[in-house]
Amino acid sequence: MKLSLSTTTTTTLSIPPPSQFLHRHRRLFNLRASFSPGNSSWNHRVVVTRERGKNDKLITALAKHGIESLELPLIQHTQLPELDKLVSLLTATSFDWIFITSPEAALVFLQAWKAAGTPSVKVAAVGTGTASIFDEDMTSSKELIDVAFTPSKATGKVLALELPKHGNEKSTVLYPASAKASHDIEEGLSKRGFHITRLNTYTTVICQHCGVTASIIQG
């Protein structure tokens, strides 16, 4: 969400949710920034819209700058049947690489990894933010989960382009992904001679019980 505050006392922000949600719940949020002659700083209010419970870091960071936050989840993550298949593959099969391309994918993978008995795996993470999920999880010992590679740019295309390949043998990659993720990674890896197994382990849907009202934010 990109927010620009001008020198006027009121800034209007339109939040464009997914098309279905937009059709049913079109809302216009008025974010007011008030200035007091005796105070040299603006007072801001920001709406954070990730899944409930996953806005904490952003809320804390905003609070450090004196910015008030309102948590209003517009999405939620739902696990898919192929999550069970991921557990089975981790239990019975070894892969040269596990591709993790988002913090949510990392959290879902950790759940399956624990259910599979915490096997030793080598992970390629799309960026430092995604890689940090494994550092924060106390059970994911570095001896068991080796985050061995992050690309020069945090995108799936660059990750597929730069993933190290040793020798002429066809390296195997397990890619637990969102059902909404593009196929750029599979295409890029296949062109380089990797054998990739993709599992759609979760998806993102519109939050059905967020309690959106017309008076969410008041001046």
Q: What is the pLDDT of residue 190?
A: 94
Residues 87 and 66 in one domain: no
Residues 91 and 186 in one domain: yes
Q: Is residue 214 part of a domain?
A: no
* Per-residue pLDDT reduced to its tens digit, 7-64: 333 333 444 444 444 444 434 343 344 434 444 445 678 887 777 767 777 888 888 8
Range of the domain at 143: 78-204
Q: Look up the pTM and report it.
A: 0.66
* Per-residue pLDDT reduced to its tens digit, 145-165: 999 999 999 999 999 999 998
Residues 57 and 115 in one domain: no
d(CA 66, CA 39): 13
Residues 187 and 132 in one domain: yes
Q: Is residue 215 part of a domain?
A: no
Q: How many domains are contained in the chain?
A: 2
Residues 156 and 60 in one domain: no
Give the residue among 206, 217, 211 at the shortest CA–CA distance from 51: 206
Phi, psi of 127 (to 5 degrees): -165, 175
Q: Is 127 helix (H, G, I), strand (E, B) or coil?
A: coil
Q: What is the pLDDT of residue 175?
A: 97
Q: Is residue 219 part of a domain?
A: no
Q: What is the pLDDT of residue 105?
A: 94
* Per-residue pLDDT reduced to its tens digit, 57-108: 788 888 888 888 877 777 777 888 999 999 999 999 999 999 999 999 999 9
pLDDT of 194 > 50? The answer is yes
